[in-house]
Chain A
């Protein structure tokens, strides 16, 4: 009789020790490598600073700007209504809530477009779509929108249109709206992504 209890105790102990060694599964789906490579080659993920400026001025509700730099850089200067999701917290639950929301177009940006491009690839690997990279990042933003260069007389008509647009945009961003370090208090309201259904419960 007692021997049976010894056996049961041993079994239970062995099973419990086993649980220490088993690794928890990850529940995010991943894109196959071949598809990912193909998507990386597509230029369609890039948006220009002009396009982003236009959407901001038009107050496009589907636009979500995400600054992938560190929090201190974000606090110093960022785009209006941009949310800060630092590169290293993209894969956390709080970071992930910004992605995969239907109807939302996410534009990632950093200082020069390199970091944001890496983040795009990471998100694409997690099978997330509707993410874009602002080509050139904030450096490009400063050069084109904040300090646009006047085109030469020999440049085509479109260059002048673009220049005029940029001058107006500059006024909007530096005159009408002063972009300072106060951006950290911005609260972006949008529908968070519904994860795979979680059981309701409670007693």
Chain B
């Protein structure tokens, strides 16, 4: 497999193979539990849990956190948390297998400094996290899973997300090229 980043020659699997396998994983997920993948919901669950721990009273009064407080018996919101745990484990496994585990470092484009990259990563994360709630999911949950189950909203999110990224790419080209 090839993909040369400067001097490093990373080994990646054929992307089409990866895509086919990913599609099969989604089909298996539907066959077993009737739902597909998702990530941002688990992040949301963590935020709710943190809020509960830090200030239970405020969490109960908040219109948003209130919705999720009584959910300890519902299996489906936990499904995401378990799945995300698996995502970490799977990524780790792949990193070990392909010898990509490295000492913690900051990866950045050649035109910016590492510090700038971190700032942008934070801003990007905040924006993305916020957008994730409005969009009812992230690229995995709304775009990928939604589109593949033919959801109208999912398809819309998929096209608008990538479209908007393409639209603003020019303005942030310094970050990457």
Measured between C-beta atoms, what is the minimum distance from B128 to chain A in Å? 13
B147 an interface residue at 8 Å Cβ cutoff?
no
Residues of B within 8 A of A198 (CB): 34
Encode contact with B along A34-74: 1 for CB under 8 Å, 0 otherwise. 00000000000000000000000000000000000000000
Q: Is residue A8 contacting chain B, with contact meaning CB distance below 8 A?
A: yes
Separation of A198 and B136 alpha carbons in the complex (Å)? 18
A103 at the interface (CB under 8 A from B): no
Contact status A200-B80, CB under 8 Å: no
Q: Tell whether A156 is near chain B: CB-to-CB under 8 Å.
A: no
User: Interface code B113-149, partner A: CB below 8 Å = 1, 0 otherwise?
Assistant: 0000000000000000000100011101110010000
Q: Is A201 an interface residue (CB 8 A)?
A: yes
Which residues of B73-97 have CB atoms within 8 Å of chain A's CB atoms?
A: 74, 76-77, 80
Chain A CB within 8 A of B108 CB: no
Q: Which of B5-13, B36-44, B49-57, B160-168 contacts A (4 or more CB under 8 A)?
A: B36-44
> Is there an interface contact between B74 and A203, defined as CB atoms closer than 8 Å?
no
Are A203 and B33 in touch, CB under 8 angstroms? no
Cα distance A5–B14 when bound, in Å?
12
- Tally chain B residues at the interface, Cβ within 8 Å: 21
Closest 3 interchain pairs by CB?
Answer: A203-B141, A199-B34, A203-B38
Q: Does A18 contact B (CB under 8 A)?
A: no
A5 CA to B41 CA, complexed, in Å: 36
Beta-carbon contact of A200 and B76 below 8 Å:
yes
User: Distance (Å) between the CB of A166 and the closest chain B CB?
Assistant: 52
- Number of A-B residue pairs with CB-CB distance less than 8 Å in the complex they form: 34
**Smallest Cβ-Cβ distance to B41: which chain A residue:** A203
Q: Which of A1-47 contact B (CB under 8 A)?
A: 5, 8
Whether a CB of chain A sits under 8 angstroms from the CB of B16 is: yes
> Which A positions have Cβ atoms within 8 angstroms of B?
5, 8, 198-203
Nearest CB of chain B from residue A164's CB, rounded to whole Å:
55
Rounded to whole angstroms, the CA-CA distance of A97 and B142 in the bound complex is: 29
A8-B16, A198-B34 as given contacts; A203 in contact with B76, CB under 8 Å: no
Distance in angstroms from A134 CB to nearest chain B CB is: 41
CB distance from B162 to the nearest CB of A (A): 17
* Complex: A198 Cα to B76 Cα, angstroms: 12
Partner among A5, A8, A201 whose Cβ is within 8 Å of the Cβ of B35? A201
Alpha-carbon separation in the docked complex, A203 to B36 (Å): 9
Judging by beta carbons under 8 Å apart, are B34 and A203 in contact? no
> Which residues in chain B, 10-38, are within 8 Å of chain A measured between CB atoms?
16, 33-36, 38
A201 to chain B, nearest CB (A): 4
B136 and A201 form a contact (CB under 8 A): no
Select from chain B the residue with minimum beta-carbon distance to A12: B20
CA distance A59 to B29 in the complex (A): 49
Q: Check A201–B39 contact: CB distance below 8 A.
A: no
- A114 to B136, alpha carbons, bound, how many Å? 48
Q: Which residues of chain B are near A202, meaning CB under 8 Å? A: 38, 41, 136-137, 141
Instruction: Using A199-B35, A199-B76, A203-B140 as known contacts, list a sample of 10 further A-B pairs with CB atoms less than 8 Å apart, ordered by residue number in A.
Output: A5-B16, A8-B16, A200-B35, A200-B76, A201-B35, A201-B38, A202-B141, A203-B39, A203-B41, A203-B136
